[in-house]
Amino acid sequence: MQTDLTPQQLRQTVLSCLAEFYGLEGKLERLGGENLNYLLTTPQDVSYVFKIVDDDIPPEVVEMENEVIEHAISAGIRLNIPKIIQNKYGNMETGIKIHKKCLYRARLLDYISGDNLEELSDISEILLKNVGKTLASFDLAMKNFNHPAARRNHRWNLAVAGMHRDTVELIGDPAQRALLGWAFDTWQWKAACHFPDLPWQFIHGDANRENILVEGDEVVGLVDFGDSCINPTVCELAICIAYIMMEQENPLQAAETVSEAYQSVRPLSELERSVLYPLVCGRLAVTISVAATRRQLDPAHPNWFGSEQLAWELLPQLREII
């Protein structure tokens, strides 16, 4: 996301927007991740999340996110999902000027308390099982959800991971270039070719470690629906375990624990099981490819390359079992 403001100017712009459109003030803290997200804590100790939306996310996605929350609640899912708060004009989005050439969109959301998995140095087996069960319960609850905005494309959509294939040529090391090519081939010929025969539905689409909130060994929240879309349902699990495996002492065992727990709630067909790890390869390949593309734009960006090396470390292990 481009901005021509200094960090201090950006901070003041966000505070001014919150005061003008929401009547809020307080302590502002930049959140981790690749997007411009902030935590606002008011003098009354009430917290909110302020998100400046990437310009490639259409406005219709905001409407969809609101309907996702309503659908999940009506389905009885016991999971906290952040609700979008309207501004003083009754709009779910607010214009914010962080670049002289364009007006970006921002939204304010409820803050969901809990630790995200990224913050935990040790993830217990019980918690891994609860991640799998919770994700499966969410997918079952959303099985019949539909919205026009969910039928969309974006760079993280696992169903079209092959659109990044050309970035293989950006990899300088021949061995790495061959490994990345293998990952895309595996996604194409062991997963994507079976897409017409797989069940599709709305999925969260980015159940990574930062977006899963926990308290102790319990999963309490799921946040950031910016990548949600219609996909083969098994892509939900594949995306999750791609990140669960990172920095685990035994990544394949961690993946199996989550996968088995998921299947105890939402059983996978034989075909879905066969495409699971090829889909994981696709997600890791996209992670590396997006990083390689972004490196051409800003090689020193502080938030763009966190998972890249971890993805490189996992692909050889997957190649041994596929």
User: 100-129: per-residue pLDDT in tens?
Assistant: 667 788 999 999 999 999 889 889 999 999
CATH 3.30.200.20 is held by the domain 7-110: yes
The mean pLDDT value of the chain amounts to 92
- Write the secondary structure of 89-103 as one string of H (helix), E (strand) and C (coil): CCCCCEEEEEECCEE
- Other CB atoms within 10 Å distance of the CB of residue 14: 21
pLDDT at 278 over 80: yes
DSSP 8-state class, residue 159: G
Strand partners, 96: 104
User: Per-residue pLDDT averaged across 131-154, rounded?
Assistant: 95
Position 305 confidence tier, pLDDT thresholds 50, 70, 90: confident
Position 34 confidence tier, pLDDT thresholds 50, 70, 90: low
User: Could you tell me the residue ranges of all domains in the chain?
Assistant: 7-110, 115-321
Distance CA 121, CA 156 (A): 26
pLDDT for res 57: 72
pLDDT at 55 over 70: no
pLDDT at 301 over 80: no
Query: Smallest Cα–Cα separation from 104: which of 13, 29, 9, 24?
Result: 13
pLDDT for res 1: 57
pLDDT for res 97: 82
pLDDT at 221 over 90: yes
pLDDT at 147 over 80: yes
CATH number for the 115-321 domain, one of 3.90.1200.10, 3.40.50.1370, 3.20.20.80, 3.40.50.620? 3.90.1200.10
The larger pLDDT score, comparing residue 96 to residue 260, is at: 260
pLDDT at 188 over 90: yes
Position 53 confidence tier, pLDDT thresholds 50, 70, 90: confident
List the single range of 150-154, 163-167, 295-299 with lowest mean pLDDT: 295-299
Q: What is the pTM of this model?
A: 0.91
- Write the secondary structure of 15-36 as one string of H (helix), E (strand) and C (coil): HHHHHHHHCCCCEEEECCCCCE
Position 77 confidence tier, pLDDT thresholds 50, 70, 90: confident
pLDDT for res 121: 83
User: Per-residue pLDDT averaged across 6-35, rounded?
Assistant: 90
Torsion angle, alpha carbons of 150, 270, 244, 180, to 10: -80
Six-digit token pair at 126? 């019980």
List the single range of 211-220, 247-256, 291-300 with lowest mean pLDDT: 291-300
